[in-house]
Amino acid sequence: MNGKWLYVVLVFSILNCLKNSESEKKNSKILRDAFHNGQLSFVQTILQEIKEERELTEEESLFYFKTLFYSGKWKEFFSLWTQINTKTPEIVLLYFKAVLISKQPVLVSTEDEKKLLDLLPISPEACLLYLKYQKKGTSSKQKKLFLAQGKLFQTHIDRLGIELGEMK
pLDDT of residue 44: 86
Predicted local confidence at residue 93, as pLDDT: 92
Question: What does the pLDDT read at residue 163?
Answer: 84
Q: Is there a single domain that holds both residue 77 and residue 109?
A: no
Amino acid at 51: K
State residue 5's pLDDT score. Answer: 60
- How distant is the alpha carbon of residue 165 from its chain centre? 31
* pLDDT at site 23: 63
pLDDT at 11: 54
Among the listed residues 117, 118, 121, the one whose alpha carbon sits nearest the alpha carbon of residue 131: 117
One-letter identity of residue 96: F
Flag residues of the chain having pLDDT under 50: 18
Per-residue pLDDT at 78: 93
Same domain membership, residue 99 and residue 49: no
- How many domains, in total, are found in the chain? 2
Number of Cβ atoms within 10 Å of the Cβ of 67: 24
User: Does one domain contain both 65 and 46?
Assistant: yes
Residue 83's identity, in one-letter code, is: Q
HSE toward the beta carbon, residue 25, CA cutoff 13 A = 6
Q: Are residues 18 and 53 both part of a single domain?
A: yes
Residues 69 and 149 in one domain: no
Please tell me the pTM assigned to this model: 0.69
pLDDT of residue 75: 92
Write down the pLDDT at residue 137.
59
Residue 159: which domain range?
90-168
Q: Report the alpha-carbon distance of residue 35 to residue 98 in Å, rounded.
A: 19
Torsion angle (degrees, nearest 10) of CA 47, 51, 57, 63: 30
108 and 30 inside one domain = no
Instruction: Classify residue 19 as exposed, middle or buried by CB count within 10 Å of its CB (0-12, 13-18, 19+).
Output: exposed
pLDDT at res. 99: 93
Contacts of residue 167, defined as CB under 8 A and 6 or more positions apart, other chains included, come to none
Residue pair 130/120 in contact (Cβ under 8 Å)? The answer is yes
Per-residue model confidence as pLDDT tens digits over 45-63: 888 888 888 888 888 888 8
> What is the distance between the alpha carbons of residues 126 and 20, in angstroms, rounded to a whole number?
39
Percentage above 70 pLDDT, the chain: 79
